[in-house]
Amino acid sequence: MKKLLTLIIIIPCISIAQWNYGNTSKGKGVYANGKIEFREFEDFEFKLVKYKDVDIDFSISSEYFKESSGYYYVVLRVLDKNFRVLEFETVDGNYKILELKDIAKNDKYKVEDFLKIFRKDISCIVTIKNNNKIIQGFSSLEGGLQAINYVLMK
């Protein structure tokens, strides 16, 4: 009876969880991935990767960044604050975030500092402007706290 009750409780949590994490395939680093839901696109996700003695790599991954070109204006809304990406690199479908700015306060954040804020919320709204096209997506941060902590603590 306990096993059945445990399954009834765990199965809905598994289907709701938006984040997963673990060790990289060669075991030399750790990763966390979180789904971002866009109306027109299905392949967006947050990616966190950290290798030993290397800074955290925080990016938004999607084929969108391979197909579209030019400048991207990206805003992440977390804890009722808007954070604009100031510095980034676009490589092979990854929009690698290097530095963000709180739009209201003008405070600048490196990735690791921003992640400490990011992990505290339950959701994130992602707005991307490129070539006069604006798309907006939503990411549940359900399970994100554990996933992000897993990467930050390694």
d(CA 69, CA 19): 28
| CB of 95 closer than 8 Å to CB of 72 | yes
b (16+ CB within 10 A) / e for 68-89 = eeeebebbbbbeeeebebeebe
What is the per-residue pLDDT for 66?
A: 80
pLDDT, average across residues 29-44: 93
Q: What is the mean pLDDT of the chain?
A: 86
Query: Is it the case that residue 13 has pLDDT exceeding 70?
Result: no
Strands 72-78 and 123-130: antiparallel
What is the per-residue pLDDT for 68?
A: 65
Q: Which residues pair with 96 in a beta bridge?
A: 59, 89
Single-letter amino acid, residue 13? C
pLDDT tens digits for range 86-105: 999 998 889 999 999 999 99
